Amino acid sequence: MKRNRIYIYTSLIYSLLPLGLLYFYGFETSFFGLIDTLVASTIIFTVYMSTIMVSKSLHYLTYILISTILITFYKVSIEYFNFYQTYIVYDIIPLYKDLISASSNFDLSDTLPLLIIVIATPFFIEKSRPEKISKRSSLIIISCSITIIFCGTIFHSKSFDSQYHNTRVLQDENPILLLFRSTPIISSLYTSNEEIYQKKSESFIINQIKNDNIEILPEYISAKNYRNLIPNYPSYSVLSTEQNPLLNVNKSKDQFSQKRKNVILIVMESLRTLEANNKSITPNLNKIISQSISVESFYATNRTTVKSEVSILCSLPDTSPYAPFSVVSGKVDNNCLPKILNNKGYETIWMHGNTTEFFNRKLFHPTLGFNKVFGKEYFREIGYSEDDDIGWGISDKNVFLHSLKFAESIEKPFFMEILSLTNHQPFTWDVGREYQNNNLVVDNDENYTNYAKTVNYADYALGKFFESFIKSKISNNTVLIITGDHGVPYYPSSHSTKAEDKIETLYKVPLVIFEKGKEHEKLVETAYSHFDLAPTILSILDIRYTNTFLGRPFLGKDATTSPRPIFLLDHNYYHFKFDDVTCYDPQKVFHVTTCNDGKIDLRNQSKSLLNYLNIYRRANYHIALRHTKLHG
């Protein structure tokens, strides 16, 4: 009996691992979160007690498996939370390959020793274990555990709902139980009949859109609900119909010059306006800005690179709350910028220092219209050694300079996107072998200091590219565009602590357009976003093509300064900008209660528009032309 008690006590200690990991990895938790974690521990304790009834070997194997899963999951969760301020849920599971690939870039020095200690611990108390614990004792303990699980779950659920009126607060939930609750089987238990009907109705609408059979949209996504948010599009007829609310049909012919301009679009990883305006961090970018057209208020529309690429290239948002559209669907059935340029005789190339498998770009980007999709695999083929990698892959300097060399070899008009990589979370890379800046002023915040250092390196690589580009044979006939894909949630110690100020910094990215012979200019009157890049590039090139762009051009022959919708998306919530008004999500900025500009109810109209965009995304952004008979 004494040995049984010792065994039960040790199993109880093992089952407290979820609680210990919360504090070990620094998760913020509340009283409700502790209750939820107690439920998780009791579930694990019940599993341990059940396996010992079968055999000691099964019990120990179960212990190893559970411990390994818990420690790994908590480590991945805290890294994910630190960057995205949310936990991993079931809808992120399609990213498991990318998460595994990404994990190799993070510091595991605190995890491996912990894993060894936890797994090895039972060996030191083996003598305290009975050969076989009585089934009667186990059943009593299991019954009590199930009762605790049931009562704890009910208490957590009732108190949680009463306190927050169904508003999810992450500190009130255990990360692994949140993942469990988000699975289809469990979440279906909380799904009302109304929600089931809504899902079936949406599936029917999506199939109609895909098959060009949609006759009229349901009331809640009808074009009349958000028509005030869609500006006019010079040189286009905006056919905001119930079949296709965003359809823009060209009504003017293209006016090509004898020598069509090339376009190089550089999308800088994790580059914000805050750092772009700091000459000590980005001196080279500031030199380029002084010779270019730049935008004062320019916004990324998402927090994930491949989602931002959809906004940039297709002028539509990837509204997927978790796993990106490129992974979930893998296909865009629309006229995105590369596809339009391809149809107009352009070579379209995509360059990146990571593998094309990451985020499924190998299959996804050709559907955007890219002729050639070059990632790390291509660089290996031409003799690149991975010993020269920095961080997630090939250094920015190597990617930039090779991309320029490749561009010079193209004998027809081209559009090239270069997606940088080195300035990527966790920003702890050793860039010293390529570049050192001992004069960079560091901040008291360690995360921000690491970030500023890698931004400084990325700026160095960009400077080297620009030096070579200016001297190249293509520079006289190439438009060079530089922007950031998204921001990061790290701030200098002097930064405002107001939520709305942090949101502004998080989404505000630079936009620079360089063209030889053009004078320096800063556009300050209107806020623009990634949605506006594709239409602006077409306007600069004097190309028109039927599309469903949400953005509008701000340069070129079709330019307009009309207010346009700007979504700032982040998982399952969003902020919204229109004209001079910003609507913050009330869960993130508590003191902002309205976003009515006096003429338009922006919150309700933006919600209705986003609902339509969600449906449109799930229909692969299919551009329905049956009702117009127009394709070019």
What is the rounded CA–CA span in Å between residue 543 and residue 202?
A: 35
Question: Which of 104-108, 195-199, 504-508 is predicted most confidently?
Answer: 504-508
Q: Sorting pLDDT into bands at 50, 70 and 90, what band is 43?
A: confident
pLDDT of residue 153: 53
Q: What is the pLDDT of residue 46?
A: 77
Residue 550 predicted with pLDDT over 50: yes
Please state the pTM of the whole predicted model: 0.89
pLDDT tens sequence across 269-291: 999 999 999 999 999 999 999 99
Are 104 and 354 spatial neighbours (Cβ–Cβ below 8 Å)?
no
The answer, yes or no, to whether residue 13 has pLDDT greater than 80, is: no
Q: Average of pLDDT values for 233-250?
A: 82
Contact 502/539 with Cβ under 8 angstroms? no
Which pLDDT value is given to residue 5?
A: 60
125 contacts 10 by C-beta, under 8 angstroms? yes
Domain 220-381+388-422+429-618 in this protein, CATH class: alpha beta
pLDDT of residue 599: 60
Ordered by start, the domain boundaries in the chain are 2-188, 220-381+388-422+429-618
Q: Which stretch, 5-14, 148-157, 173-182, 477-486, has highest mean pLDDT?
A: 477-486
For 154-177, the pLDDT digits (tens) are 544 544 444 433 445 677 788 888
pLDDT tens for each residue of 326-340: 999 989 999 999 999
| pLDDT for 432 beyond 50 | yes
Average confidence (pLDDT) over 61-77? 86
Residue 586: pLDDT over 80: no
User: Phi and psi (nearest 5°) for 601?
Assistant: -80, 90
Strand, coil or helix: 338: helix
Q: How far apart are CA 398 and CA 384, in angstroms?
A: 9
Tell me the pLDDT band of 74, cut-offs 50, 70 and 90.
Answer: confident
Per-residue confidence (pLDDT) for residue 430, from 0 to 100: 85
Mean pLDDT for the stretch of residues 1-24:
72
**What does pLDDT average to over the chain?**
85
The arithmetic mean of pLDDT across residues 66-88, rounded, is 85
Rounded (to 5) percent helix, strand, coil in the chain = 50, 10, 40
Q: Compute CA distances 447 → 426, 490, 501, whole Å.
A: 8, 6, 19
Q: What is the pLDDT of residue 523?
A: 92
pLDDT of residue 579 exceeding 70, the answer is: yes
Could you give the residue ranges of the DSSP H alpha helices within 519-599? 533-541
pLDDT, one tens digit per residue, over 447-501 is 999 999 999 999 999 999 999 999 999 999 999 999 999 999 999 999 999 999 9
pLDDT in the model for residue 134:
56
Tens-place pLDDT, residues 349-378: 999 999 999 999 999 999 999 999 999 999
CB 446 within 8 A of CB 269: no
Three-state secondary structure call for residue 401: helix
Listing DSSP states for 96-139 in one string gives HHHHHHHHTTS--TTHHHHHHHHHHHHHHTGGGS-SS--HHHHH
Q: What percent of the chain shows pLDDT beyond 70?
A: 85
| 94 pLDDT tier (thresholds 50, 70, 90) | confident
pLDDT band of 139, cuts 50, 70, 90: low
pLDDT at 294 over 50: yes
User: Which pLDDT does position 3 carry in this prediction?
Assistant: 52
Under 8 Å between Cβ of 284 and 397: no
pLDDT band of residue 41 (cuts 50, 70, 90) is: confident
pLDDT of residue 270: 97
Res. 393: pLDDT tops 80: yes
Bigger pLDDT: 16 vs 468: 468
pLDDT score of 629? 45
Task: State the virtual CA torsion across 324, 564, 369, 376 in degrees, nearest 10.
Answer: -50
Residue 239 has pLDDT above 90, yes or no: no
Residue 525 — pLDDT band, cuts 50, 70, 90? confident
**pLDDT of the residue at 83:** 82
pLDDT tops 60 at residue 87:
yes
User: Whole-angstrom distance between the N-terminal and C-terminal Cα of the chain?
Assistant: 83
Return the minimum-mean-pLDDT range out of 6-10, 128-132, 249-253, 567-571: 128-132
Nearest-10 Cα torsion for 511, 83, 595, 231: 40
DSSP readout, 363-379? HHHHHHT-SEEE-HHHH
Report the pLDDT averaged over residues 214-233: 89
Length of the chain: 632
pLDDT of 237 above 90: no
Mean pLDDT of 600-606: 84
Q: Of 191-200, 296-305, 463-472, where does mean pLDDT reach its minimum?
A: 191-200
Q: Which of 104-118, 342-356, 413-427, 504-518 has the lowest mean pLDDT?
A: 104-118
- Please report the pLDDT score of residue 513 as a whole number: 98
